[in-house]
Amino acid sequence: MDLTGNASLARETLRTMWTIRRFEEAVDDLFARGLMHGTMHLSIGQEAVPAGACLALADGDYITSTHRGHGHCIAKGARLDAMMAELLAKETGYCRGRGGSMHIADVATGNLGANGIVAGGVPIASGAGLAVKLRGGQQVVLSFFGDGAVNEGAWHEGVNLAAIWDLPVVFVCENNHYGMSMSAKRAAKVDRLGDRAAAYGIPGVTVDGNDPQEVFDAVSAAVARARAGDGPSLVEAMTYRWKGHSKSDKNLYRTREEIESWRERDPIVRFERAAITAGALSEEDAAECRDEARDRVRAAIRTANAAPDASAASLTDAVYAGSQS
Amino acid sequence: MVAKEVALVMPKMSMTMTEGVFVAWHKAAGDRIRQGDVVCEVTTDKVDMEVEATVDGVLARLVARPEDVIAVGEPIAYVESEADDLLEGLFDAPEASGPVPEEPRAPEPQPVRAAEKRGVAAVPAARRLAAERGVDLAALTPTGPWGTIRVADLPAGRLAKPAPARGRAAVARRMTPSALVPQFVLYRDVDLAGAERARNGASWTAVFVHVLAAALRAHPAFNASWSGDTLVRHEGVAVALAVDTPRGLLAPVLTDPDLCGLDELGSRVADVVSRAKAGKLGLAELSAPATTTVSNLGGLGVGAFQALLTPPQASALAMGAVERKVVPVPDGVGVRLRCSLGLTVDHRVADGADGARLLSTVQELLDGGLV
Amino acid sequence: MTTTESRTLTYAEAVREALSQAMEADERVFLLGEDVGTYGGAFGVTGDLVHRFGEERVRDTPISELGIVGAAVGAALAGMRPIVEIQFSDFTAQAMDQIVNQAAKIHFMLGGAATVPMVLRAPGGSGTGAAAQHSQSLEAWFAHVPGLKVVMPATAADAKGLLLAAIDDPNPVIVLEHKLLYKQSGVVPQSPARVRLGETAVRRDGTDLTIVATGVMVSRALEAAEQLAATGIEAAVLDPRTLRPLDSKTIVDSVTATGRALLVQEAPKTGGFMAEVSAAIVESPAFGHLTAPVTRLCGLDVPIPYAPQLEKAAVPQTEDIVKAATGLVNQW
């Protein structure tokens, strides 16, 4: 499917990317003003990966996410007000204030949760794939992780299990070039992390992660294989985070020039131009997507801010499921 | 799209950052800037951090200067920008950072009442002491939680181990610095005839707390502390009252005791003394800063004594026994209700004559119906 | 008493100074961990060490906790003195096999033929809003494993002195730092003076009760003791510093004198380290001197929540210590 050629697909892709961008800009602003607790990992500059990948999924499909997970959440269809409420430590947040940015999950839309442990979600994705297979279901599980995760034992073990049992899993590596400060080039000997697939006997590709079309095509092919029972695949999407790893990053491990060169390759601006050039969208349509994203984020902040703060009175509830407390 | 001024704020750049020190501008007023451009540098927790522009536009006004300490969320510059404010000014209220209101703590689990069991419940130390002294535990009345016999429930006997002197360390900590203060004492017998008519049931302790506070208010130079090499004057008057308790000496503080009526002060003093003896004083009453202290040992038969200053207080009043004394009167001798006062003064704050004048004011207040 | 130059350093600077003095003194000492090089450590602890000692000895690693600890075990077996930084103590869970089944047991399994002289540093504790997977206090896990030594420095001076002693030690030592303490300052000796492992510090004398506290709870206990003193309650404050081997004698002596023990930890109550301290008191001659039940004040049995008001409620604060101590003294 041609995302830049088809008006409704182009609009959906653009709207998703702008929503992620605006949501994270607002979060950045709130944190900077001291209105947000904890820490934040922003994916500004990487929006094309979740937007393109989640477009290739159907309702009922699962994802596992990471500490840099706002984009995955939004692209999978999470409610912005419940996300924002969580970040603002409200009782109406996705995790009732218990989880914060790093642990947002939305089981209703198949998001099994952001994870603060790098590669923690990879074996979990394989396990969800195993459940689908045992139940004879048709769902696919898409596991997002960063370049930093591929050297964790959990990553290798999770990918290998999915491979030997032909589980319906798509492993999507968002290679944003750095695991905190460690360059992906220094952390692995292979030039392309997509090539690692060969070691597990599964297909692997490396695509331009700043182009939602390339991401969408590669993930669509992998999803089709998974649904057909042909097992997992690995998709490496090359992208870049504009912001620091978290909140106290002095950017000592990279140059301003490098950051600048990637900002020039803004995935959203690029897609917008391509869709306008292809005639799928007018300038007005693009502006409308932007305004809509802004208005949705504003409404989410208003709703979340008016909600009651998470209460300590029931703090010990929900440590265990059922009546036990 | 309308250009408007957008505040560029001191950003929070670590989980614990509350303020930053401004280092230097990398851009000048009037420069066109893009979101993500480094505009200046700040230091937080000894680390220099670059601050990026949050919007595209023109740097209109620079607010921060090098060395300025700026709280998170406070403006460091304003940018002329057409960018949408995603927060719609929702958080631009004066409160720069929103402290979260204190929530009640999650309820502590209540201890379950121990099941009735044979034998007597007693803390190990009580069991050991009872055995040493030949006391039958079963004959005692338990007052501890869960019906447990505490050490305090044993009849007083030869204590196996000397009970630690309660509160001695606190007194030592509080009073040792007093030895560094050059202090003198003035003694004066005051006449209580007028006060006796006016006190209306209030204790003499309450009367002297009241008049001392009023006298200090009339002589503000005394309501002060010597600090470093300067005199610091205090706004209000607060009198610490020395109370002898089973826990040792406690000194709860009465703020502005001369600003309420003597009846009210009388009940305040009675209440605070009884709670001090019962160990039920609040932390606030004990730790509030006092500007003077009143001690009364008259009840223990002391005629007159010298109190030590409690730094940083500059005065202390020692009350002897209030009693009828034979005194010279015009044309002979008479019997009058009197009390010997000892006023201790920090010599760095005031001189002897100043102290004498303060005591005269005390006598005038006592004579003048305690107004 | 020899005088030694002292100045004020932050806890993080004190750790860095210990690392650099150990590296200067012994070329076998080297550092490895995630982002310890150019970045300077996630909490800024290693700072500029990479510029002073080079990338070989201040070794950035991929995100591979199991591999990092395994590499340290191997290097230690082969004659080096590696110091591992695990970015958050929570991530030790990913390295548990190498810590528990390898590092802790090799010396014993080989009948004493080999040693594993390595140090693993990791920041633990809550208070920064980092939520459930980045805020745990896991000291009891490690203290439960024979073959490991476990250290929890509560002051800047101890952060330096205990780390130097840990580096000297021929056994694997887990040093659990607290992320809230990194920016706290204290007087630290210039000299590489060691603070011996296994010695409980008496931080304050008192007659009415003994408060035993670890990590960030030590400073909270000292603040509480100040407030208690104003109400006439004199609390002794003890800081075990080393959890394994534990110097229980100092604790027992103090409780024998005061008759009451309040044990304060940030970690959840169930199965926590203070249960061990409690048992050590009750099984000792201090038993007959107890005038009150040995009492624990601990974190709630919940994962650390994100919201600031919930995070505060989940672990003991100074006022909770004051309240518990007051109850213990007045009711008993």
**Domain identity same for C22 and C105:** yes
Residue B267 predicted with pLDDT over 50: yes
Residue C291 predicted with pLDDT over 90: yes
Please tell me the predicted confidence (pLDDT) of residue B94. Answer: 52
Please tell me the predicted confidence (pLDDT) of residue C60. Answer: 97
Please tell me the predicted confidence (pLDDT) of residue B163. Answer: 46
**CB pair distance less than 8 Å for B279 and C259:** no
Number of domains composing chain C: 2
A317 touches chain B (CB under 8 A): no
**What's the pLDDT tens digit per position in C209-226?**
999 999 999 999 999 999
**Domain identity same for C261 and C123:** no
Average pLDDT over residues C140-144: 98
A7-307 domain in CATH 3.40.50.970? yes
Using an 8 Å CB-CB cutoff, list residues of chain C that contact chain B.
10, 44, 128-130, 180, 183, 205-208, 227, 229-232, 234, 257, 259, 287-293, 300, 307-310, 312-313, 320, 322, 330-332
Please tell me the predicted confidence (pLDDT) of residue C233. Answer: 96
What distance in Å separates residue C82's CA from the closest CA in chain A?
20
**Does residue B199 contact residue B205 with C-beta atoms inside 8 Å?**
no
**Domain identity same for C154 and C214:** no
Measured distance CA(C80)–CA(C74) in Å, rounded: 9
**What's the pLDDT tens digit per position in C179-192?**
999 999 999 999 99
Looking at C159, C189, C219, which one is the last position of a domain?
C189
Within a domain: C194:
no
**CB pair distance less than 8 Å for A35 and B91:** yes
**Domain identity same for C151 and C72:** yes
State the DSSP H helix or E strand holding residue A213, giving kind and residue range, or none if neither. Answer: helix A212-227
**Domain identity same for C266 and C168:** no
Domain segments of chain A: what residues? 7-307
Among B170, B279, B286, select the one facing C330 at the smallest CB separation. B279
**Domain identity same for C30 and C155:** yes
Out of A123-132, B117-126, B165-174, least confident range: B165-174
Average pLDDT over residues A198-226: 98
B51-90 as b/e: b if 16+ CB within 10 A:
bbbbbebebbebebeeebebebbbbbbbbbbebbbbbeee
Within a domain: C159:
yes
**Distance (Å) of CA B266 to CA B28, B59, B218, B364:** 67, 66, 22, 20
How big is the CA angle at A153 (ends A152 and A155), to the nearest 5 degrees? Answer: 70
Question: Residue B369's pLDDT band (boundaries 50, 70, 90)?
Answer: low
Its pTM surpasses 0.85 = no
Chain B residues whose CB is inside 8 A of the A33 CB are 9, 12, 72-73, 91, 96-97
Backbone angles phi, psi at A130, to 5 degrees: -65, -40
Chain B residues whose CB is inside 8 A of the C313 CB are 103, 105-106
Out of A39-53, B113-127, C19-33, C274-288, least confident range: B113-127
The CATH number covering residue C258 comes to 3.40.50.920
**Domain identity same for C79 and C146:** yes
Residue B279 predicted with pLDDT over 80: no
**Does residue A88 contact residue A306 with C-beta atoms inside 8 Å?**
no
Cis-peptide, bond into residue C245, ω within 30° of zero: yes
Among A116, A152, A309, select the one facing C131 at the smallest CB separation. A116
DSSP letter assigned to residue C138: -
Please tell me the predicted confidence (pLDDT) of residue A261. Answer: 97
Residue C317 predicted with pLDDT over 80: yes
**CB pair distance less than 8 Å for A117 and C90:** yes
Residue B300 predicted with pLDDT over 50: yes
Residue A207 predicted with pLDDT over 90: yes
**Distance (Å) of CA A88 to CA A83, A95, B59, C22:** 9, 11, 30, 44
Contacting chains of A (3 CB pairs or more, <8 Å) are B, C
**What's the pLDDT tens digit per position in A31-89?**
999 999 898 899 999 999 999 999 999 999 999 999 999 999 999 999 999 999 999 99
Within a domain: C196:
no
**Domain identity same for C163 and C275:** no
Question: Residue B112's pLDDT band (boundaries 50, 70, 90)?
Answer: very low
Contacting chains of B (3 CB pairs or more, <8 Å) are A, C
Which residues of C are identified as catalytic? 65, 134
Kindly report the average pLDDT of chain A as a whole number. 95
Domain enclosing residue C271, as ranges: 201-331
State the DSSP H helix or E strand holding residue A55, giving kind and residue range, or none if neither. Answer: helix A48-55
Please tell me the predicted confidence (pLDDT) of residue C4. Answer: 64
Please tell me the predicted confidence (pLDDT) of residue B102. Answer: 53
Within a domain: C299:
yes
Within a domain: C17:
yes
Average pLDDT over residues A109-119: 93
Among B103, B144, B250, select the one facing C232 at the smallest CB separation. B250
Question: Residue A169's pLDDT band (boundaries 50, 70, 90)?
Answer: very high
Please tell me the predicted confidence (pLDDT) of residue B157. Answer: 59
Of all residues in chain C, what percent carry a pLDDT higher than 70? 99
Amino acid at B278: A
DSSP letter assigned to residue A308: P
**Domain identity same for C105 and C51:** yes
